[in-house]
Amino acid sequence: MGKVYLIGAGPGDPELLTLKAARLLAQADIVLHDALVSREVLANISSRAEVIDVGKRYGKKLLTQEEINALLVTYAASRETVVRLKGGDPSIFGRAAEELEALRNAKVEFEVVPGVTAALAAAAASGISLTDRRVASQVLLTTFSRGPNASVMDWGCLTPATTLALYMPGLEYAEVAHRLADAGLPADLPCVIVSGASGAQQQVRWSSVGALASEEKLPAPALMIVGRVASQQIGEISDSFWRGEASGTALEQQKASVS
């Protein structure tokens, strides 16, 4: 029986693949990949490998998750190196848990190879730090739920020190803005939308919670970063932060420790 590798393909730029991921793609006997894996990354797959697209496009799945799980188990019985290639990182909104459970139950050997997740690529593209110690002490990775699952996310858990990385915000920015406002986030709170992070078609749009509804929609895949770090004028925001948190000599000492 062979071994299954769940590999993170990263956000799109093939140079962001880990060395281990690139080596395994060159050795693979068969690769099952998602739709978001870029053509540039797919070009690293061995020419002798069988390549199967199991991705989802426009809400339509080529295969169900159960069928993908079954394929991984089946191919592991006849192929030495089976690769399940996922966009970003397998453990971040990649349904890795379901596939790993199926492999465990079938007693198939597996290994997870991490990749660069979209939130990190989006932060790099916009030139910001997700955890600027002056204004943000935590990061929340989430997706935007619609329909019957809209209440799953507790937006009330957001604090002024939270950086929100919102995966798959969709094209209804007004709905996103409404939900954020309902959670108590101020209209002037900065946000940045990054489309196609790290790819040739990458776009970065600076905005705020209040202005989101009127923004031109960017193509998927996109990610939204919301919080005080999502500003090109972080100095102004940090000054306001320090005025609220310290005073007098303590303020000067903290400013000096940051600089």
Tokens of 72: 């991984």
> Residues near 164 by Cβ (< 8 Å), separated by ≥ 6?
139, 140, 142, 158, 224, 225, 226, 227
Alpha-carbon distance of 193 to 94, in angstroms, equals 21
C-alpha to C-alpha distance for 180 and 187, rounded to whole angstroms:
9
DSSP 216: P
CA nearest 8: which of 41, 39, 40? 41
- Token reading at 88: 């970003």
What is the spatial distance between Cα 52 and Cα 55, in angstroms, rounded to a whole number?
9
**Using an 8 Å Cβ cutoff, are 83 and 71 in contact?**
no
**What residues act catalytically?**
34, 56, 168
**Helix or strand or coil: residue 98?**
helix
